[in-house]
Structure 1
Amino acid sequence: MSVVTPFPGAYPRKGVATFERLELQRIMDLYGRMVAAGHWRDYAMDFAPDLASFAAFRRAAERPEVRIEKRPSLRAKQGAWALISEHGQVLRRGHELPPVLAPLERRLIRLVED
């Protein structure tokens, strides 16, 4: 009988932190509205074994204005979600995504006159 040797890298890595479909949909919805308002122009996503990160940029050549991070290992402690500023300061941390995104949502609210 012949022995089948698996091809290295053919199988997906196990244990990589990712965004779920509804989480990514909420983040991309916010990104689209921020682009339409002229705040952001580019984004990047990074996936590591312990971290999934979405970074939004004002210009492509700069540091990200904000990062939205999901760390599943902190789910039971201080919350898996974090909103991090351009300088690395944690602006908001929590167990649910909508309250963490609230400071960014407030930037889009405008008073409309009659």
Structure 2
Amino acid sequence: MFKKYWQKIRTDLKVLRDGPPGQRFQNFVDYRLEKRGKQQILWRLLTFSSGLFLILFGLAIGWLPGPGGFVAFIGIGIIIQEIPIIAKWLDQLETGLRSCLQFFKKQKSESTQ
């Protein structure tokens, strides 16, 4: 059972990783919607609910030493997968960060010459 679940996670991560920069996250949201088919509303509700639970649980145990805040971040990541507008923002953020990185690499190479 776990092997099948991990294979699904690997496939999802491959789709996300192999997407073109600037469209990667939007394509991933579209892929998830297409994969779910007719049960889309139920799965979105379950995914959103589980992400919200992890956020609240992480906040509740966040003051304890250990993974409290980390659990909340996992919940945020799960919810982000369900909101297309956030996918668009992440794509814009990715292209902006890539542009900044290229600029700084260019500046560094010019300064060493």
The normalised TM-score by structure 1 is: 0.26
Pick the structure with more strand per residue.
1
Pick the structure with more helix per residue.
2
Structure possessing the higher relative contact order (Cα contacts under 8 Å, 6 or more residues apart): 2
